[in-house]
Amino acid sequence: MGGSASQLPKEQLAEYQELTFLSKQEILLAHKRFNELTKDERNPPTRVPMDKILALPELKSNPFRKRICHVFSTSEVKDGSLTFEDFLDLLSAFSDSATLEIKSHYAFRIFDFDDDGTLDGGDLEKLVNCLTGDTDDTRLTQEEMRQLITNILEESDIDKDGTVNLSEFQHVISRSPDFVSSFKIVL
């Protein structure tokens, strides 16, 4: 770990520590892992393309991996590529010490597939499909899906506008205590 520590200037490390929920060890580990992604190239780019990030074992089989990359990417061209700081942001949101507020915020954005700021029927359908997988025996039928989405909206859409917005989502999250313990990625 000494090698990677020397690469990361002390002030930078302190800044990372101040602005994320990660500890020093976690940041150093993240740095190491991030550099490993780009080490085979001569000039390591600041942005690591999405497919390389997705190759990380922690994300490889996550059903939301692409959404996660897109949400945390600050890329101008929306290709889901991550800088190291984006990567830290990702880990910070998924860390142990991140607040429920942050976690639910990012969960909302991850689940908001069409990026329109609310979870509507289409988003929910995609969400359920992501969770159940897309093989035929696990996928819900049209009728089941319709019923499920009605149930979901019944349960969470407090102002009855047909979509679940951020505050409604956070309200729902506050009632499912497992969320915080399961919304975690550890490097």
Site for other proteins in 128-187 (CB under 8 A): 128, 131-133, 137-140, 144, 147-148, 151-152, 155-156, 158-163, 165-168, 171-173, 175-186
88 lines the binding site for other proteins (CB under 8 A): yes
- Of 15, 36, 44, 45, the one binding other proteins (CB under 8 A) is 15
Q: In the complex, what is the shortest distance from the CB of residue 96 to other proteins, in angstroms, rounded to a whole number?
A: 10
Alpha helix positions (H), 20-64 = 24-38, 50-54, 57-60
Alpha helix positions (H), the chain = 2-7, 10-19, 24-38, 50-54, 57-60, 65-72, 84-93, 100-111, 121-132, 142-156, 166-174, 178-182
127 lines the binding site for other proteins (CB under 8 A): yes
5 lines the binding site for other proteins (CB under 8 A): no
Amino acid at 80: G
- Of 8, 21, 34, 50, the one binding other proteins (CB under 8 A) is 21
The residue (of 51 and 101) whose beta carbon lies closer to other proteins is 101
User: Do residues 20 and 88 touch, judged by C-beta distance below 8 A?
Assistant: yes
